[in-house]
Amino acid sequence: MSDARRSLVWLQGNACGGCTMALMGAESPDVLSALDWAGIDLLWHPSFGEQTGQDWTALMDELASGRRALDILCVEGSVDAAAGDPRSMAYWVAPLAARARFVVAVGSCSAFGGVAALGRPDTVALQQRGDGRTLLDADWVSAGALPVVNVAGCPPHPGWITETLARLAQGALEASDLDELARPRALTDHLVHHGCARNEFYEFKASAERLDELGCLMEHLGCLGTQARGDCNLRVWNGAGSCLKGGFPCINCTSPGFERPNHAFGQTQKIAGIPTSLPSDMPKAWFVALASLSKAATPERLRRNARAERVIVRPKSTKR
């Protein structure tokens, strides 16, 4: 792609607005600076755009007809499927997707249906969804030869959004850079488990039983960080931490179906005392054997600290 500036439109469907809130929390740089530095002109976003009523409709008509170029279409939230109704999001998204060079699903609602589609048969994801309820066909590709790029998460990290948009604007994102769910591999080649501050407790299976305790949250409190894809603990959120650093278990919000876990969030489903949600790349028999050994070798420091709200047993001094 050339050095010409790229145009971007952001539409908001059925959603809580959390993805926009995350985007507006971008730091170093802020979102508007990040887009500008990437050579992106923001034509419309519901939180930043100035057009209303007839002016907004005129802009959308220009883009949908091709009279004005559209490089990147971002969709936040699931989409009402009534394509012939101008009050529905599908009425606007479908023709814009046909014109845009790239289409980005921002957040798990637009990528996979997510929370916004629960109990709503008239609501669809853009392209990826297990039950087949999507706006675009499974083999659809944009004018830039990519499927819908899914920046999943509930919400996604602002850096995931701005980095993906910058790569698209610079022609630096290809089909091989996407994983099996069309998520950027730069984000999903990591597990949330990587960089978790509780990893020492995990190694020895020193587990917390309440959310205000320091131990690993996998055994009892429903943490899916050993399965979830994302660099959540390798980059800070809002200048400080992540869900796990805030004391909350990972719910695997970057994956389809996370909103329907078949058990309460914050609880680990077990069979015969063994968690059903084991690390994604470890056979069950190995996990059971290693967990037994780890628990037998748990240092007293970790055993006691895991069930405490703060460190009560300090590491031994290495001074001789």
255-310 pLDDT, tens per residue?
999 999 888 898 998 887 778 777 877 777 777 788 888 888 899 999 999 999 99
32-36, 73-77, 266-270, 306-310: least confident range: 266-270
Percentage with pLDDT > 70 across the chain: 98
For 175, list phi and psi in degrees, rounded to 5.
Answer: -60, -35
pLDDT tens for 195-231 read 999 999 999 999 999 999 999 999 999 999 999 999 9
**One-letter-per-residue 3-state SS of 111-162:** HHCCHHHCCCCCEEECCCCCCCCECCCCCCCCCCCCCCEEECCCCCCHHHHH
Please determine, for residue 64, whether its predicted confidence score (pLDDT) is greater than 70: yes
Q: What is the mean pLDDT of residues 240-250?
A: 90
Which domains, and CATH codes, for the chain?
6-187 (3.40.50.700), 190-311 (4.10.480.10)
Paired strand residues for 125: 134
Q: Residue 17's pLDDT is what? A: 94
CA distances from 304 to 47, 210, 280, 317 (A): 48, 14, 28, 18
Local confidence band at 248 (pLDDT 50, 70, 90 cut-offs): very high
Longest dimension (CA), the chain: 78
pLDDT above 60 (res 83): no
Phi and psi torsions of 235, nearest 5°: -135, 145
Inform me whether the pLDDT recorded for 1 exceeds 70. Answer: no
Kindly report whether the global pTM for this prediction surpasses the value 0.85: yes
pLDDT computed for residue 28 by the predictor? 87
